[in-house]
Amino acid sequence: MKPRIPLASIVVLSLVLASGCGGGDDSSAAGAATAHGAINVWLSNNAQEVAWGKQVVQAWNAAHPTEKVTAQEIPAGSTSEAVISASITAGNAPCLIYNTSPAAVPNFQAQGGLVPLDDFADGTSYVTARSGESAAQYKSPDGKFYQLPWKSNPVMLFYNKKEFAKAGLSTTAPPLGTYTDFLATSQKLVSSGAAKYAIFPSPSSQFFQSWFDFYPMYAAESGKQLVVDQKATFDSDQGRAVSGLWQQLYAQNLAGKEAYTGDAFADGTAAMASAGPWAIAAYKNKVDWGVVSVPTQAGSAEGQSTFSDAKNVALYTACANRGTAWDFLKFSTSKEQDGKLLEMTGQMPMRQNLAQEYPAYFTANPAYKVFAAKAAHVVEVPNVPASVEMWQAFRDSWSNSVIFGKEDPNKALADASAKINNLVK
């Protein structure tokens, strides 16, 4: 039988070669920093943020009829990075995305998808004037700002007053300041039957989950980012203390190891939760809650740090009318609009001296005051290349050693540290 070269495989082969030579196909004209015209923006689909976004867009469009802004929603959550990455690649990303995760910025930057705000005359000055010192954490390794720090949700410890009372613990000054107290309280909560678990952060192995169990406590303990100057910082006494505490919690079944459908704190299954001010609206009629800072070894102090859980705004290279985009960005992060964001969503705009800037709001909503104070002391995820990979490596090692107890946590930390040092070189 004569060997026949299937026709289709020739077609495929040529397509493969052609796609390889692709690389830079039709490059869409990159808009100059001064071009003005209609732009597109994306908001997260959190209902309150959408409401805020709509009124910002309306206000802008009324004042700038020739530079109309259209807003669309994309889901917040683990898939939003996939959507943004895909649209960067396809060249149809919008001008601004009000849901850019700081951990994803290095990747988007490497893809050539982000415009440095330094390109604008008042770019850097605007960012630093608005956010003050904490802006420095959002600079990329090349010293430029590829994102504007927009809002944060400083992570604090919520506790269920009813369940604490049931366990015989004080609800106004709960013993949660030191690790020893925290552990003892957790044991009491579970052994007295007040709650099934003391605390139930998601045990999922997704890369960002460490931001809600390990990182807030590590930030409080050390004030440092996970990686500083291209070196992992957590293979230290502080890192070991945090992982030691969590390992105890999991080993004694005070924290759940299985998947849980729903919110364990809202359901009363867990007596405590690490969450930010967004949770106040979510827990409103479900839990009689109180909030304190996360514990540290020595006892929680006023000025201790926590994880920021920030979401930022970035300007994408697919944008043609970058002048309008920058103007709109400044408009939507003005004092007035930041105030509206605060009112409508309860999340903390990353503006200096938040409590002093909006005294009326905090008088009317004292529950949020403590978060405003915390907002001045937030630690962000490190802005390094391979940041997602770094967090995944950390989470895998955490999962294995702390959650499932298959490895000694100290050794796991050391191994993860070595691995991460390699990644962020």
Partner 1 sequence: MTRTISAPVADDVLPTGADGTVKRRGRSKWRVFALTVGALAFLFPFYYMIVGSLQARSDSSLLGALPMPGNLSLGNYREINAAIHLGRSLLNSVIFTAGVVLGTLVFGVLAGYALARLKFRGRGTLFAAVLLLQVVPFQLLVIPLYVQIVRGYGLADSYVGMILPFAINSVAVFVFRQFFLQLPVELFEAARIDGASELRVLRSVALPLVRPALLTATLLTFIGPWNEFLWPFLVTKQAGKQPLAVSLANYISTVAAAATNPYGAILAGACVLAGPAVLLFIAFQRYFVSSDLGSGVKG
Partner 2 sequence: MKTRVLGRQPVGLLLSAPYAVFVAAVFAYPLGLAVWISFHKYIFTAPGVSVPRPFVGLDNYTAVLTDPAVRRSFLNILIFLLINVPLTVGLSLLLATALNAAIPFRTFFRVSFYVPYVTASVAVVGVWLFLFGSGGLVNQVLGGAAPDPSWLINGIWAMPSIAFYVTWKQLGFFILLYLAALQNVPKELYESAAVDGASRWRSFRSVTVPGVRPATTLVTLLAIITGANLFTEPYLLTNGGGPSGKSASPVLLMYQRGIEQGHPDIASAIGVLLVVAVLLIAGVQRLLERRQA
Binding region for partner 1 (CB under 8 A): 6-9, 42, 44-47, 72-77, 79, 82-83, 85-87, 89-92, 261-263, 266-267, 269, 281-282, 285
Question: Would you give the binding string for partner 2 spanning residues 77-96, x where CB under 8 A is met?
Answer: -x--xx--x--xxxx-x---
User: Which of partner 1, partner 2, none has residue 3 at its interface (CB below 5 to 8 Å by kind)?
Assistant: none
Residue 238 binds partner 2 (CB under 8 A): no
What gap in Å lies between CA 348 and CA 98, rounded to an integer? Answer: 14
User: Which of partner 2, partner 1, none has residue 45 at its interface (CB below 5 to 8 Å by kind)?
Assistant: partner 1
What gap in Å lies between CA 332 and CA 327, rounded to an integer? Answer: 9
Residue whose CB is less far from partner 2, 362 or 398? 398
Helices within 64-213 (DSSP H only): 80-90, 105-110, 123-131, 161-166, 179-191
Residue whose CB is less far from partner 1, 40 or 248? 40
Residue whose CB is less far from partner 1, 113 or 123? 113
Sign for the pseudo-dihedral over CA of 414, 420, 422, 425 = negative
Burial class (CB in 10 A: 0-12, 13-18, 19+), 61: middle
Tokens standing for 147?
A: 């994102």
Residue whose CB is less far from partner 1, 84 or 402? 84
Residue that is written with structure tokens 């802004």 in the block? 69
Residue whose CB is less far from partner 2, 206 or 353? 206
Among positions 4-23, residues that touch partner 2 (CB under 8 A) are: 8, 11-13, 15-16, 19-20, 23
Give Cα 48 to chain centroid, integer Å.
17
Residue 400 binds partner 2 (CB under 8 A): yes
Residue 186 binds partner 2 (CB under 8 A): no
Residue 196 binds partner 2 (CB under 8 A): yes
Residue 389 binds partner 2 (CB under 8 A): yes
Helix (H, G, I), strand (E, B) or coil at 98: strand
Least Cβ distance, residue 379 to partner 2 (angstroms): 22
Residue whose CB is less far from partner 1, 260 or 373? 260
AA letter at 118 = D
Burial class (CB in 10 A: 0-12, 13-18, 19+), 146: buried
- Out of 110, 173, 281, 298, the only residue in the binding site for partner 2 (CB under 8 A) is 110
Least Cβ distance, residue 112 to partner 1 (angstroms): 14
What gap in Å lies between CA 30 and CA 46, rounded to an integer? Answer: 31
User: Which of partner 2, partner 1, none has residue 113 at its interface (CB below 5 to 8 Å by kind)?
Assistant: partner 2
Contact between 180 and 154 under an 8 Å Cβ cutoff? The reply is no
- Other Cβ atoms less than 10 A from the Cβ of 171: the count is 14
What gap in Å lies between CA 181 and CA 346, rounded to an integer? Answer: 30
Contact between 218 and 163 under an 8 Å Cβ cutoff? The reply is no
Q: Which listed range, 24-32, 181-189, 290-298, 412-420, lies at the site for partner 2 (CB under 8 A)?
A: 24-32
Among positions 251-280, residues that touch partner 2 (CB under 8 A) are: 257-262
